Amino acid sequence: MTPKTEAIILSLHAKSDTSSLLEVYTRNEGRSSYLVFGNKWRSTLQPMAIVELTSQGNPAREMRTLSSATRLFVPQKNDITHTCLMLFMAEAIEKSLRHPMEDETLFDWLISQIKKLDQTDELQMFPNEFLVALSEQLGYGGVILDEWRGLKSLDIIQTVLLQ
């Protein structure tokens, strides 16, 4: 049995009728994968939920088996726009964070972004602001991000296409 770890759910992919692959970003290990047997945790393992996980298996192995999952925070806004933006965030994080390295600063920042989205109704610029801030968190910063910060979506698309 491994110690409990705090995690952000990125995705849950069904592999068969009785098993699924859970992709998470954890406070202690960075990006991790878990095998999930049965359907009893499906409601707990929603994308961008913050959970506490316990697993069986060797932490040095790439894949462990999920033993338990406890919700710590689940986004409360269930309208289609917030849900789509949560899925957008999960996809961006899943595609960007491939390393199984601990990064508590990034983990805390991601939690703050999940809570920020859940507390706001000002959603027009959220995807752009999130991607720019994620780029900064990953070490891609500088002048271009400062220039893009105040632009609207159409301006960004035209800037990229005209270069």
Q: What is the pTM of this model?
A: 0.78
> 11 forms bridges with which residues in the sheet?
23
128 and 111 together in one domain: no
Asked if residue 111 and residue 131 are part of one domain, the reply reads no
Average pLDDT over every residue of 10-19: 86
Q: How confident is the model at residue 122 (pLDDT cuts 50, 70, 90)?
A: confident
Among 1-15, 65-79, 144-158, name the one with the lowest average pLDDT: 144-158
- Examine the domain organization and report whether 75 and 148 are in the same domain: no
Task: Tell me how far apart the alpha carbons of residues 67 and 44 are, in angstroms, rounded to a whole number.
Answer: 13
Longest dimension (CA), the chain: 55
Do 154 and 115 lie in one domain? The reply is no
Domain range for 130 is 124-163
pLDDT-derived band of residue 148, with 50, 70 and 90 as boundaries?
low
If asked whether residues 107 and 74 sit together in one domain, one would say yes
- Top-confidence residue, 150 or 130: 130
Tell the burial category of 107 from Cβ atoms under 10 Å away from its Cβ (0-12, 13-18, 19+).
buried
Beta strands in the chain (DSSP E): 5-14, 19-26, 30-37, 50-56, 63-73
The more confident residue out of 41 and 32 is 32
* Residue 110 confidence (pLDDT) above 90: yes
Question: Are 142 and 107 in a shared domain?
Answer: no
Q: How would residue 113 be classed by pLDDT, with cut points 50, 70 and 90?
A: very high
Structure-model confidence comparison of residues 155 and 121, the more confident one: 121
- Domains identified in the chain, total number: 2
The domain spanning residue 92 has which CATH number? 2.40.50.140
Integer Cα distance of 35 and 45 in angstroms: 12
| pLDDT band at residue 88 using 50, 70 and 90 as cut-offs | very high
The answer to whether residues 12 and 56 belong to one domain is yes
Give dist(CA 115, CA 126) in Å, integer.
13
Claim to verify: residue 90 and residue 143 sit in the same structural domain: no
Looking at the structure, tell me whether residues 32 and 57 fall in a common domain.
yes
